[in-house]
Amino acid sequence: MDEPTTQPSPPSKRSSRSRWLWLLLVAVIAVAVYYYRSSEAKGAGAGNPSVASKKKGGKGGGEGAVPVVGTRARRGNIGVYINGLGSVTPIYTVTLKSRVDGELMSVHFREGDTVHKGDLLMEIDPRPYQVQLTQAEGQLARDQATLENARTDLTRYEGLLKLNAIPEQQVATQRSTVKQSEATVKSDEGQVASANLNLTYSHIISPITGRLGLRLVDPGNIVHASDPNGLVVITQMDPISVLFTISEDQLPTVLQKMRAGQTLTVDAFDREMKHKIASGTLTTVDNEIDPTTGTVRLRATFANSNGALFPSQFVNARLLVQQKHGVVLLANAAIQRTSNTIFVYLVKPDSTVTVRNVTTGTTEGEDVEVASGLNPGDVVVMTGADKLQEGSKVRVEIPGDNEKQAGGRAAKGGHR
């Protein structure tokens, strides 16, 4: 029997779909590879300093010069200071107390007044002490009369003794009587002086020139010499002092200057160290170091006629220990710092910048001493440094120079 002949079957729809899927996958991979290589090229361009400098306006100058504010290094003087925390302390503070007992009759001041040495401030009832004085003077007069009579008798007895009219013992007794009367008179004179002193103490006088505080006792009260609180407190305001502390490590420098006879200036600043209140001179160094803090106390004296310094006021004291002359100074804002480098952006004559490492020294206010790395007249970027790198092209504006140029043009115009 003949076998049936097998006919070739037509390609299935499934194989056709698989072929199209493979073609789509190859196309996706090709696109992915293209974008990956493009991103690598862009990343390499971004990491290339030359490319970045062109974009930042460097030597290539793709977008133009970077505007910055500059400043000039200059030659000048700068001080070396030691800073310390301190408080205003009066040189003299007196708590007035009564030295006698009695009624407070009158007060001759207003609270807060400035009084002078010798001014009458208060009066205590003087009448009891006036009576005591009168009694003491009367006793003195009586005993002086007794003494005079005893001396007269002694003179007469001495004459009779020469005539052998009285015994010698009687003359000796009279001499003793005279000495006793002299002692009594001397005691009476002391009583008179004491009564006079108490009468004087009933008038309370200011012992110093200064500012009065609040009155502690009102008129009409009985005051006693033993009262602990006193009547009023007087504080000397001019001159006044500031007590401040410095580290024990800084003490040798200060002592060396004082032993050499130098007058050291001390400036008193406010709490925020922004406003200088007054200038004075260092007068005293304490005789011991505080072992708990490692600091030593210093006293500076200030003229205070304007009353700018007030007792117990907190101040920042700045002690000038050295004045450096003819050093290179730069605005502190122009100094750039990293973890291990101090540098500036120096502007070259072609208006490009270069990184210049510098060594700084003393800082005073907005200025800093540049010990090495710059010369007077060098132009340094002060504002806008965050946009710069080595070789960047800049357009510099120097505020001081612009004002001088404007002034020069105005002066020239005035001569036309």
Give pLDDT tens digits for 337-348.
988 899 999 999
Is 412 or 353 the better-scoring residue by pLDDT? 353
Long-range contacts of 59-67 (CB under 8 A, 24+ apart): 59/352, 59/391, 59/393, 61/393, 64/393, 65/351, 65/393, 65/394, 65/395, 66/384, 66/387, 66/388, 66/392, 66/393, 66/394, 66/395, 67/384, 67/394, 67/395, 67/397
pLDDT tens-digit series, residues 73-113? 999 999 999 999 999 999 999 999 999 999 999 999 999 99
Per-residue pLDDT, 92: 96
Q: Are 345 and 354 in contact (CB under 8 A)?
A: yes
Per-residue pLDDT, 15: 55
Per-residue pLDDT, 399: 85
CA angle 351, 354, 357 (to 5 degrees): 145
Q: Are 241 and 283 in contact (CB under 8 A)?
A: yes
Largest CA distance in the chain: 214
Rounded Cα–Cα distance for residues 70 and 399 (Å): 8
Whole-model pTM: value is 0.66
Range name among 32-36, 60-64, 95-99 with the lowest pLDDT average: 60-64
- Picking from 74, 72, 70, 73, the residue whose alpha carbon sits closest to that of residue 396 is 70
Region 23-40: mean pLDDT is 67
pLDDT tens-digit series, residues 371-396? 999 999 999 999 988 888 899 999 99
Region 319-340: mean pLDDT is 92
Query: To which H or E segment does residue 6 belong?
Result: none
What is the sign, positive or negative, of the torsion defined by CA atoms of 65, 69, 74, 79? Answer: negative
- Picking from 259, 303, 297, 260, the residue whose alpha carbon sits closest to that of residue 281 is 303
Per-residue pLDDT, 57: 44
pLDDT(10) > 90: no
Per-residue pLDDT, 4: 44
pLDDT(44) > 50: no
- Tell me the domains of the chain and their CATH numbers: 54-73+335-406 (2.40.420.20), 81-90+238-324 (2.40.30.170), 92-125+207-235 (2.40.50.100), 127-201 (1.10.287.470)
Average per-residue pLDDT for the chain = 86
How many CA within 13 A on the CB side of residue 390? 6
- Picking from 317, 324, 323, 319, the residue whose alpha carbon sits closest to that of residue 264 is 319
Region 362-366: mean pLDDT is 87
pLDDT(45) > 50: no
Beta bridge partners of 354: 346
Rounded Cα–Cα distance for residues 292 and 290 (Å): 6
Q: Tokens 């009168």 sit at which residue?
A: 134
Range name among 40-44, 170-174, 293-297, 341-345 with the lowest pLDDT average: 40-44
pLDDT(63) > 80: no
Rounded Cα–Cα distance for residues 404 and 121 (Å): 61
